């Protein structure tokens, strides 16, 4: 797997090598290499815990105009109607830019706003259940080990988010696995692996060399004095 292509390691695509299908998972799952996973090179996490409930459009406009093409919308401990209204606004702006909108954890919210996919953690709705309920949705799974990565692949995930690279202010309970832990996850799965957790611009060369397919970033962009400039720098550095 290379950072440029975000392809599976064996080069198989959605029409390529089929994965074994666990009980309850559609049989025709393949290693994902389509254009949707290729948009995850710089994956912006829009976290209401970080941003509050202000209109997300101004910040997302800056980030997407800078070249980011994937947004994860994370709404923990927010009233359903508030989460829906904000996610709907995010869907509108991502659609204008041809960017992905992936909702964290909330399958109901993802379906309600017409999101492109869902991202789940180890304590959320099981990945195989999400795949059964939403066969066509992009599915990401947070993992911390090779074993969890292999389980996510078998359950029908399209990519995994691995980390944390280091401790992060947005998820203070995240277990740090470091660069060596990320390398172990990359080696364990054919899926694209996106690194997460306290990532800075200086980390990108080492992450690319390690075979990571992209990086997920929250505060390094959202809390920057110039979010547009920060997003553009991540896009440029990853693509360099």
pLDDT in tens, 77-123: 999 999 999 999 999 999 999 999 999 999 999 999 999 999 999 99
Of these residues, 106, 131, 142, 183, which one is catalytic? 142
What secondary structure letter does DSSP report for 30?
A: B
What secondary structure letter does DSSP report for 122?
A: T
How far is Cα 200 from Cα 192, in angstroms, rounded to an integer? 20
Q: Does 48 score more than 90 pLDDT?
A: yes
Of these residues, 41, 74, 106, 183, which one is catalytic? 74
User: How many of the other CB atoms lie within 10 Å of CB of 202?
Assistant: 8
CA distances from 148 to 60, 68, 235 (A): 31, 28, 28
Active site residue 106: no
Active site residue 74: yes
Looking at domain 37-239, which CATH architecture does it have?
Alpha-Beta Barrel (3.20)
How far is Cα 228 from Cα 36, in angstroms, rounded to an integer? 22
Active site residue 9: no
23: helix, strand or coil: coil
Supply the pLDDT for residue 32: 55
142: helix, strand or coil: strand
Q: Does 205 score more than 90 pLDDT?
A: yes
Which pair of structure tokens corresponds to residue 99?
A: 């960017």
């Amino acid at each position: 797997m290379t950072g440029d292509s975000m392809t599976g390691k064996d080069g198989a695509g959605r029409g390529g090598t089929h994965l074994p299908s666990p009980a309850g998972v559609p049989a025709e799952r393949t290693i994902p290499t389509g254009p949707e996973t290729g948009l995850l090179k710089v994956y912006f996490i829009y976290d209401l815990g970080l941003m509050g409930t202000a209109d997300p459009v101004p910040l997302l406009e800056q980030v997407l105009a800078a070249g980011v093409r994937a947004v994860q919308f994370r709404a923990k401990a927010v009233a359903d109607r508030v989460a829906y209204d904000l996610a709907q606004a995010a869907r509108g702006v991502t659609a204008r830019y041809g960017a992905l909108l992936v909702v964290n954890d909330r399958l109901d919210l993802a379906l309600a706003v017409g999101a492109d996919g869902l991202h789940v953690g180890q304590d959320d709705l099981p990945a195989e259940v999400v795949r059964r309920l939403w066969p066509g949705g992009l599915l990401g799974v947070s993992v911390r080990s090779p074993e969890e990565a292999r389980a996510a692949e078998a359950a029908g995930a399209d990519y995994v988010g691995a980390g944390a690279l280091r401790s992060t202010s947005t998820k203070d309970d995240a277990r740090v696995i470091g660069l060596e832990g990320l390398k172990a996850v990359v080696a364990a799965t054919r899926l694209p692996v996106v690194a997460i957790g306290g990532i800075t611009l200086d980390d990108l060369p080492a992450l690319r060399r390690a075979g990571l397919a992209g990086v997920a970033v929250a505060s390094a962009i959202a809390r920057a004095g110039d979010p547009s400039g920060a997003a553009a720098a991540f896009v440029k550095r990853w693509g360099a």
